[in-house]
A and B are shown apart, each in its own frame.
Chain A
Amino acid sequence: MFISGMIHILGETFKGLFRNRWMCLTSTGVVMVTLLMLGLFMLVNMNISHITDTVKEQVEIVVYIDDQADEATVSDLRQRLSGHHAVAEVFYVSSEEHMNRLQRQLGGILEGYDTALENPLLASYEIKTKIPESVVGLAQEIEAYPGVSEVFYGQGYVENLFAVTGVIQIVGLALMAGLSITAVFLISHTIKLTVMMRKREIAIMKYVGATNWFIRWPFLLEGLLMGFAGAILPMAALYYIYQYSVEWIAVNNLIFLSLLPVQLVVIELAKYLVPLGTGLGVLGSAFSMGRFLRV
């Protein structure tokens, strides 16, 4: 009984897909277009997030050490900075290193200037924070530490950068949530239509004594296959679109647009789009069938 039932369910799934091929193709098409739109937006959003994260990671605090401070104070300062819960890394930059950097930046302008005797530059600690957004608060805290001459973190610019990236992230999330909800509605309604067209068939099955699960399985499998196909095809399209974009950016030397690697993006998209497509296919079928099964 189990085997004949299983054969029947699988057979019915494929027969159902073939018999209602136009409706099924329409449903799959709707899933495809919706997920393609969602996927495209996700691609853009993921990369915007990546670029803003990269920019944010470059934010650091430079703590200039007071040249009057004694060795013990400087050593204490280093320990306090390294031990701070918000600090990820601390680098010491000597005044000589600062002068070397300045010479490199200015080219030959400082040639002949005796840096060993008259170096007015202060040594510093360069700090990377664990969370870029904590820079402002941390800088204010460090300013009060003994042995600190001055703290610099790009005052004014950093606050603006965080404000802009914050807005971009919120807008991105809101748009993605909106698109996801639209996708859920569009896909579940189209699948509902597919099931509604077959309500007569469902009623007949009930009259001849089919159990609800016996009726449901082929529809659920159909929904699953439609959803899966509707997710896989946009995935393939997105893969080629993204690969082409990455190549185009490389060819045109737009290196400031540091895009995420193709493989990583495709895996991220697949983690979201494939379960969404198949899940919506199955759930759309299950919910749409509910009232027709009450015969």
Chain B
Amino acid sequence: MVEAQNMCMKYEKGGRYALENINFFIDRGEFVFFVGSSGAGKSTLLKLIIRELKPSDGVLKVFNRNVARLPRHRLPYLRRNIGMVFQDFRLMEERTAYDNVAFAMIVTGASRREIRKRVPHVLGLVGLQDKEKARICDLSGGEQQRVGLARAIANRPAMIIADEPTGNLDPGTTLDIMNLLRSINMRGTTVLVATHNRDIVDRFKKRVIYLDNGKLVGDEQKGIYTHVH
């Protein structure tokens, strides 16, 4: 599903590597943590997967396609297969929870009937069935991230990418969000999570890819954060 072969990334020509010689293969249905301290290259890696950035060297395949060769006009179709969850939620704050989730479906050309049926369903899955009409700015941080999750799964994507999804949340809410991600994964969706929250990584015992200073320094099934730190 995601495969990196000797992939390198430099932000500037002649500058230092943000990612250097990265190799890994992630299969369909896996749950993978990318861990490492700030600046290790986790967010860069996720940006490469959604083709916000292009690798400077090597190959990165997503859904069996070399993303560097993907023409710009095909990008929206790649992203519709990937649900994104962000640390800062990135929701349209003046709009309702319903509108935010519905928007992700509207852009794919879903019918109004389908949207009216699906949006309450996914909001229900993340426990926000009674917050449909609430504006984002009136919701708590945890609730906002649930809306983010609902939006990410609205189009039944093959993969969810979460960049520090619990970075702005308290420990209790963090666990709720991670449990939601795990339940999404159990339904067959591949989940990639970039985090430096060691408690979560250790508790979930999933595959862990360790990044340090732009290099991949470890890749363990049922890994725990403390192995390299």
**Nearest-CB distance from B103 to chain A (Å)?**
7
List, in ascending order, chain A residues with CB within 8 A of B111's CB: 1, 4
List, in ascending order, chain A residues with CB within 8 A of B50's CB: 207
* Interface set, chain A 1-39, CB cutoff 8 A to B: 1, 4-5, 7-8, 19
**Nearest-CB distance from B143 to chain A (Å)?**
18
How big is chain B's contact interface, by range?
20 to 34
Identify the stretch in A198-206, A234-242, A270-278 within 8 Å (CB) of chain B at 4 or more residues.
A198-206
- Asked if residues B106 and A204 are in contact (CB atoms below 8 Å), the reply is no
List, in ascending order, chain A residues with CB within 8 A of B103's CB: 205, 208
B76 contacts the other chain (CB 8 A): yes
- Asked if residues A204 and B107 are in contact (CB atoms below 8 Å), the reply is no
In the bound complex, what is the Cα–Cα distance between A7 and B78 (angstroms)? 24
B109 contacts the other chain (CB 8 A): yes
Most buried by B among A1, A4, A200: A4
B79 contacts the other chain (CB 8 A): yes
In the bound complex, what is the Cα–Cα distance between A201 and B95 (angstroms)? 11
List, in ascending order, chain B residues with CB within 8 A of A295's CB: 52
In the bound complex, what is the Cα–Cα distance between A102 and B105 (angstroms)? 90
List, in ascending order, chain A residues with CB within 8 A of B70's CB: none
- Asked if residues A210 and B90 are in contact (CB atoms below 8 Å), the reply is no
A290 contacts the other chain (CB 8 A): no
Please pick, from B52, B106, B151, B155, the residue contacting A8 in the complex, using a CB distance under 8 A: B106
- Asked if residues A4 and B107 are in contact (CB atoms below 8 Å), the reply is no
In the bound complex, what is the Cα–Cα distance between A205 and B109 (angstroms)? 13
In the bound complex, what is the Cα–Cα distance between A19 and B79 (angstroms)? 27
In the bound complex, what is the Cα–Cα distance between A283 and B68 (angstroms)? 31
**Nearest-CB distance from B32 to chain A (Å)?**
20
- Asked if residues A5 and B109 are in contact (CB atoms below 8 Å), the reply is yes
List, in ascending order, chain A residues with CB within 8 A of B78's CB: 209
In the bound complex, what is the Cα–Cα distance between A210 and B76 (angstroms)? 6
13 pairs from A and B in contact (CB 8 Å cutoff) = A1-B109, A4-B106, A4-B110, A8-B106, A204-B90, A205-B103, A206-B76, A208-B79, A208-B104, A210-B76, A210-B107, A211-B107, A214-B107
Sorted nearest first, the 8 A-B pairs with minimum C-beta distance are: A1-B109, A209-B80, A209-B79, A210-B107, A208-B104, A209-B76, A211-B76, A8-B106
